Structure 1
Amino acid sequence: MEELLARLADTPLADWMRLSRWGYAGVNALHVLGIALLVGAIVPLDLRLLGWRRRLSLKTLGQALQPVAVTGLLLALGTGALLFLADPTGYAATPLFLLKLALIGLAIANALALNLGPGLAGAAPRRLRLAGALSLGLWIAALMSGRFLAFV
């Protein structure tokens, strides 16, 4: 694993991420935008799954917000990979970073289990509440752990 991390750190893209002030800043800004799109779409959908604003159609809300969340997730993942290149060995050795990755993995698995299973329209209310609670907790925890990384 250390050899792979060292190879990643020696790539031209990793050098650019470490040495380019505006490149790193731009990628970081896009990462924040991806997170904002993801969380901004996930929170109202999760709250609806938990029973908030029941008069809003879950199907319509899901059709509107899920593509925004997926776009934000893909942007955050792509830019996060670039940010990782700035210090692969350091990030991989940080327990908080590993926790963040685990939380993201669990949150994605939760969303896939719901959407590839019964879906928003076919799931029982209890299943929807569970998925919403898990999603809300996991994404908030991932967001907080990622934010704390800047300070440890």
Structure 2
Amino acid sequence: MTDDLTHVDDEGDAQMVDVGEKDDSQRRAVARGEIRLTESTLRAVEDDAVEKGDVLTTARIGAIQAVKHTWETIPMCHQIPVTDVAVDFDLLEDGLACRVAVETVGKTGCEMEALEGVTTGLNVVWDMVKAAEKDEDGEYPTTAIEGVEVVEKSVDR
């Protein structure tokens, strides 16, 4: 049973996968996710009128930092040499989409880094706009982070 689980040893204990024998290769992963926001909050983000500051620049920096530190927050994730990170935000009718592309040259992929970048980028957006999203009852009726997924993964050997 544990033969199929690469993060579990023969005794059933958690272990980090040994990638030491693998050849280095160019790797790329892209992840995407969305945050639902009210129209007024979206306009404030677009107009750079959010009280806490420039939402998209701050979220972009947060996403990049998260990519670079993924190995510190995801158990048994290898520290990889990130060679490039691109973070893009798109205004949607009912929110924002975040797309993070990560590249590396190494022995293991970078999809966890891309996912970590997207989730952190969207969390930073939420942190910066949550006061504007609150309704008169103190609730957040429309705000949700959703659809986080890896949309591309490649290895050039």
> Would the TM-score normalized by the shorter structure come out above 0.5?
no
Q: More relative contact order in 1 or in 2 (CA 8 Å, sep 6+)?
A: 2
- Give me the TM-score of the superposition, normalised by structure 1: 0.29
The structure carrying a bigger strand percent of its residues is: 2
Which protein is bigger by CA-based radius of gyration? 2
TM-score of the aligned structures, taking structure 2 as reference length: 0.28
